[in-house]
Amino acid sequence: MNTPTATAGLSRLEVRATPRPSFTEYHVTATIEGPAFVGAAAAELFGRVAALLAEHKIQPIQEKVYGLTRVRDEVLKVRDSAYQRHGLDRSMPVTWLQGTPLQGCDFVGLQIWGVVPTDGAPCVETVTTPGSDRGRLWRGHGFQMLHLAAVRGTTPAGPLADGHVAQAEQMFTNIGLRLAALGFQYTQVARTWIYMARLLEWYDDLNRVRTAHFRRVGIGGEGGVPFPASTGIQCHSDTEECVVDVLAVAPATPGGLTVAPVRCSPRQDQSFNYGSAFSRGMILDLEGKRTIHISGTANINTAGDSTHIGDAESQSLETMMSIAAILEQHGGSLRSITSATLFCKDRAAWEAWCRVTQLLQIPFFPKVAVLADVCRHNLLVEMEAVAVI
């Protein structure tokens, strides 16, 4: 089921459904389209989303909501009411992300990834980890997937660690503690989404902390497992310096689910060559379909250099071409994208992206777009994506 044009009132709803033998995978993207009062916009959008989840019996694994932090409580209260009215599981964790809106409403929209098992049985549940963090555990046929929502650098005593480096170190430690509590290993992490309130001020520190921690747990380096796919971008949820969502995958049956990294592409070499410990993407091959998680991708060439400095149109084109190159390698294209997030440094970069996609008639794909700093001062756009091939 695809709904390429499902705009009603204040909101747009995009649904991408991919059937497999034992389940159907859903990616839901809902956005506010134009200026609107937050309360009315949230009520309409969550009403439509809740009705969709209830009608199709979608069991969410991951939910992200975007908007200004000052409206977070109002929006999440509307969400809770809508989910309650439709009899949905209100224990589902949600990651709130402050991304500056582009459409004139302080509430931007949401993304949900979920599944519907063919037999109709419950297969996704909310789980609680040390520190009272919550996640969603999907028990499939011969595998388990765990999504941890909004892991922060909180100390065992409860408050955030003191300082950005200490928070980053504690955040990566907390990932391991939460995984272990639920029977997962650090080396089973396939995807991370890292959000930093002051990205450009200390991204290098984050990279040093991440690389050192990964080496200690057997990720990367000589004999280590591949780096996870990842995004590192300017966003925040509350007062923390950094916060991360994590996806871990535990295959249980040989020959069932396979997980494989995309280390490089025809247009970009390994990111570790310039100090960033992540793979370009991660492929989850299951029941005849491949779900590809593409890391946050920006205008960086095979030598690791930023190009087209100051030219947002060219950077937009290069970013899309780098993503398309990965998809083409694996038998897909931009049309295969089921969900994406676009981060633009400023409104001019967003307008440049729109011009490029319109003039070149780039295929439409569901996305949430916000203003945010990218990992280098001279990079103007970045996009992450999920595609099913």
Q: Are residues 243 and 261 in the same domain?
A: no
pLDDT in tens, 207-249: 999 999 999 999 987 777 999 999 999 999 999 999 999 999 9
Lowest mean pLDDT among 105-119, 122-136, 245-259, 287-301: 245-259
138 and 174 share a domain? Answer: yes
Q: Are 132 and 115 part of one and the same domain?
A: no
Q: Are residues 237 and 279 in the same domain?
A: no
* Domain boundary, last residue among 84, 105, 120: 120
Answer yes or no: do 263 and 386 share one domain. yes
pLDDT of residue 274: 56
Tell me which residue has tokens 């949230």.
42
Domain of 47: which CATH number? 3.30.1330
* The pair of three-digit structure tokens given for residue 5, joined into one six-digit string: 């044009």
pLDDT tens across 286-302, in order? Answer: 999 999 999 999 998 88
* 70 and 94, same domain (yes or no): yes
State residue 271's pLDDT score.
60
79 and 99 together in one domain: yes
Q: Domain residues for 299?
A: 257-389
User: Are residues 389 and 365 part of one domain?
Assistant: yes
* Final residue in a domain of this structure, among 256, 286, 312: 256
On whether both 306 and 207 belong to a single domain, the answer is: no
**What average pLDDT does the segment 101-105 reach?**
94
Structural domains in the chain (count): 3
Q: Are residues 217 and 156 both part of a single domain? A: yes
- 102 and 17 belong to one structural domain: yes
Who has greater pLDDT, 112 or 300?
112
Q: What's the chain's average pLDDT?
A: 94
Query: Distance of CA 337 to CAs 151, 225, 292, 324, Å?
Result: 27, 27, 9, 10
**104 and 204 belong to one structural domain:** no
Q: Domain boundary residue among 231, 256, 281?
A: 256
Q: Model pTM greater than 0.85?
A: yes
Query: Could you tell me the CATH number of the domain that includes residue 158?
Result: 3.30.1330.40
